[in-house]
Amino acid sequence: MRQCWILLALFVQLATCDDDNLIDSNPIPAVFEPSWTFKCVPDEGCQRSESPLPTKSNSSSVFDSLDLCRTVCGRFGGLWPRPVTAALSLQTVKIHPNYIRFDLIDAPVETREVLAKMTQVATANLLDECDGNVTDLVETPVVVYITIKSSNLELSWNTDEHYILDVQSKDANIAVHIVAETIYGARHGLETFTQLVTSDKSDFSAQSSCGLRLVSGAKIRDKPVYPHRGLMLDTARNFIPMDDIKRMIDGMAATKLNVFHWHVTDSQSFPFESTRVPQFTRYGAYSSYEIYTTEEVRDLISYAQVRGVKVVIEIDAPAHAGNGWQWGKEYGFGDLAVCVNSKTWRSQCIQPPCGQLNPANHHMYRILQELYRDIAETLPKPSLFHMGGDEVFLSCWNSSQEIVSYMKDKGYDTNVEGFMKLWGEFHKKALQIWDEELLHTRQPEQPVMLWSSELTQPNVIQKYLSKDRYVIEVWEPLSSSLLSQLLRLGYRTVSVPKDIWYLDHGFWGVTKYSNWRRMYSHTLPVEANMLGGEVAMWSEYVDAQGLDTRIWPRAAAVAERLWSNPSASASVAEPRLHRLRSRLGSRGIRCDVLSPAWCAQHDARCL
């Protein structure tokens, strides 16, 4: 009661000041919030006004909000990744999602269902700019005409992802044209279209209304430099719930990344449901809640497709396989894996818990085939599968009497060369059963992916792994020459230099954290067999709690590197990345901060 009276007394006093003293006799109004405006200055980007009072300027280059300034300022406005070419007007026009119509008449009938979903995602993204409620009603009609030539719905390394986007406002009509070869190119065009829109919420007034503004004129031509632009996520060291995975896919869609490499199993856990072999999750999942059901996986695959992303499942083998495989004896199949959960892990694997598939046990191959069948039936076509293949620990196999005597029977020595033969034999058999399962789903042979390892060294790889079948994902450090050597041998490769593009580095051991600038600055060779790269989120030290800020904005930096491979520096890109961060925020993705807010309000002044 007492406090209320004091408050009330204060209120009365303030009101009195306002009326009688401040406004009339003093030019400073009794408003404590600043009213910054932002000016788009050539070569300097968006700059905050000198004074916190709104600048009553008619200048077309002064804006009420930083987002609005960024959306139009500079050659590429607020677009991320940078398109090949862009010409943007400084002017914007008000639009409302209810008055946007998507015209799909020039798209083949077969594409329209997916395309319609793609347009729904675009509309939802526009609504997000106003937290889902665009209250400023304007009836300006916007028609988005989508022209597509190909009826092919497959996403592969051969997919043409280019698009042309053209925005024209005439009188009270806005026409947007998106021309592409495939639905994926058209989707990228739609994403870019949404990036030409921003809310008109000013930074200085807590007004409740929110409207959308679209750049009034734009001509954009765009296509990616690399066909493989991936984010790898490990969900075995720590489980990541499906909703969080979907949010990462949303971020990939926003940045035109197109491969979700899902490292779904490892020796720690096996959360991937196999309907044919339920033992995998029964013995391998951390809990009954930490499982990806087949239905959820299928749902994720179509969710990703609508966002221009292909899901590539990895079942790491023959190493990094333990929990989930430890039930063989109980079922009369012997040891399907060896060294599983071994207490003397240091001598048998890189990291606890140990586990390696048992290549001497034919039941193991039979069960692997059942798993492959489940996967082949689930993956989008053409099915791109990742067979793992990294970090085989020879002394684990060597510690198994069964494996050693199998090798004797085969005439393999138990020296390094003999174990390489055994390892090579595993991949040969694994590929054979995968091919059989592809036939089952009426697909011809497809290339598979494999991590680099001792088996992919230039002097041994040709003995065991054909360049027609295997694409090698090289995770060697920058100092390694393996990538260029494999390219020279004619292998198709994907690059994930671990000391630059590993998102977990800096969180364990002697590894060093790479910030987004460092990630951005790394370039890959440009040649046909260099398919692209991935940014890798290993999950030993991350789960859903810290996932967003661990991945973003750094994955976006790699995304632009892989999409446009710009020659300009990270500093030149930074203002656009600020805009992306704000955009991801409105779409529900918590992107880590790039700089003090003052630097964000004064482009190029903190260099």
Ligand X SMILES: *[C@@H]1O[C@H](CO)[C@@H](O)[C@H](O)[C@H]1NC(C)=O
**Residues assigned a catalytic role:** 391
Residues 305 and 302: their CA atoms lie apart, in Å, by: 5
Indicate the residue among 7 and 137 with the shorter CB distance to ligand X.
Answer: 137
Residues 309 and 537: their CA atoms lie apart, in Å, by: 17
Residue 464: Cβ within 10 Å count: 17
Q: Going edge to edge, which strands form the sheet with 38-41? A: 45-48, 38-41, 62-63
130 near ligand X, judged by CB under 6 A:
no
Which position among 415, 457, 462, 595 is part of the footprint of ligand X (CB under 6 A)? 415
* Minimum distance, C-beta of residue 216 to ligand X, in the bound complex (Å): 18
Residues 107 and 151: beta-carbon distance below 8 Å: no
Q: Map residue 231 onto helix, strand or coil.
A: strand
Residues 167-226 that bind ligand X (CB under 6 A): 208
* Minimum distance, C-beta of residue 137 to ligand X, in the bound complex (Å): 10
Residues 183 and 198: their CA atoms lie apart, in Å, by: 25
Q: How far is CA 305 from CA 19, 100, 586, in A?
A: 61, 23, 22
* Minimum distance, C-beta of residue 136 to ligand X, in the bound complex (Å): 10
Indicate the residue among 22 and 404 with the shorter CB distance to ligand X.
Answer: 404
How many residues line the site for ligand X (CB under 6 A)?
Answer: 11
* Minimum distance, C-beta of residue 587 to ligand X, in the bound complex (Å): 17
144 near ligand X, judged by CB under 6 A:
no
Indicate the residue among 158 and 401 with the shorter CB distance to ligand X.
Answer: 401
Give the range of 67-75, 155-163, 320-328, 391-399 binding ligand X by CB under 6 A: 391-399
Binding mask 345-384 for ligand X (x = CB under 6 A): ----------------------------------------
Which position among 9, 10, 416, 606 is part of the footprint of ligand X (CB under 6 A)? 416
DSSP string, 492-536: -EEE--HHHHBTTTTSSTT-----HHHHHH-----STTEEEEEEE
Q: Dihedrals φ, ψ of 520, to 5°?
A: -65, -35
Give the range of 136-144, 170-178, 299-307, 412-420 binding ligand X by CB under 6 A: 412-420
Indicate the residue among 395 and 466 with the shorter CB distance to ligand X.
Answer: 395
Which position among 49, 168, 293, 414 is part of the footprint of ligand X (CB under 6 A)? 414
DSSP string, 118-183: HHHHHHHHHHHTTTT---S-----EEEEEEE-------STT----EEEEEEEETTEEEEEEEESSH
Give the range of 408-416, 450-458, 487-495, 513-521 binding ligand X by CB under 6 A: 408-416
123 near ligand X, judged by CB under 6 A:
no
Structure tokens at 448: 């598979």
Which position among 21, 98, 395, 511 is part of the footprint of ligand X (CB under 6 A)? 395
Q: Dihedrals φ, ψ of 551, to 5°?
A: -90, -40
Residues 226 and 239: their CA atoms lie apart, in Å, by: 30
Binding mask 418-457 for ligand X (x = CB under 6 A): -x--------------------------------------
Structure tokens at 365: 């191959």
Indicate the residue among 57 and 275 with the shorter CB distance to ligand X.
Answer: 57
* Minimum distance, C-beta of residue 131 to ligand X, in the bound complex (Å): 8
For CA atoms 404, 407, 408, 409, give the dihedral sign: positive
Indicate the residue among 293 and 414 with the shorter CB distance to ligand X.
Answer: 414
Residues 39-58 that bind ligand X (CB under 6 A): 58
Which position among 133, 158, 459, 479 is part of the footprint of ligand X (CB under 6 A)? 133
Indicate the residue among 125 and 265 with the shorter CB distance to ligand X.
Answer: 125
- Counting other chains too, the contacts that 38-44 makes at CB distance below 8 Å and 24 or more residues apart are 38/62, 38/63, 38/64, 38/65, 38/66, 38/68, 38/69, 38/601, 39/63, 39/69, 40/69, 40/72, 40/73, 40/74, 40/90, 43/604, 44/603, 44/604
Give the range of 70-78, 147-155, 359-367, 414-422 binding ligand X by CB under 6 A: 414-422
Binding mask 55-74 for ligand X (x = CB under 6 A): ---x----------------
Indicate the residue among 99 and 145 with the shorter CB distance to ligand X.
Answer: 99
Which position among 135, 302, 466, 545 is part of the footprint of ligand X (CB under 6 A)? 135
Indicate the residue among 124 and 599 with the shorter CB distance to ligand X.
Answer: 124
Closest by CA position to 574, among listed 538, 607, 533, 529 = 607
Chain length of the chain: 607
398 near ligand X, judged by CB under 6 A:
yes
Q: Which amino acid is at 3?
A: Q
Q: How far is CA 481 from CA 69, 215, 581, in A?
A: 44, 46, 35
* Minimum distance, C-beta of residue 363 to ligand X, in the bound complex (Å): 24
Q: How far is CA 356 from CA 332, 359, 385, in A?
A: 19, 9, 20
* Minimum distance, C-beta of residue 253 to ligand X, in the bound complex (Å): 24
Indicate the residue among 379 and 455 with the shorter CB distance to ligand X.
Answer: 455
* Minimum distance, C-beta of residue 548 to ligand X, in the bound complex (Å): 25
555 near ligand X, judged by CB under 6 A:
no
Binding site for ligand X (CB under 6 A): 58, 133, 135, 208, 394-395, 398, 414-416, 419
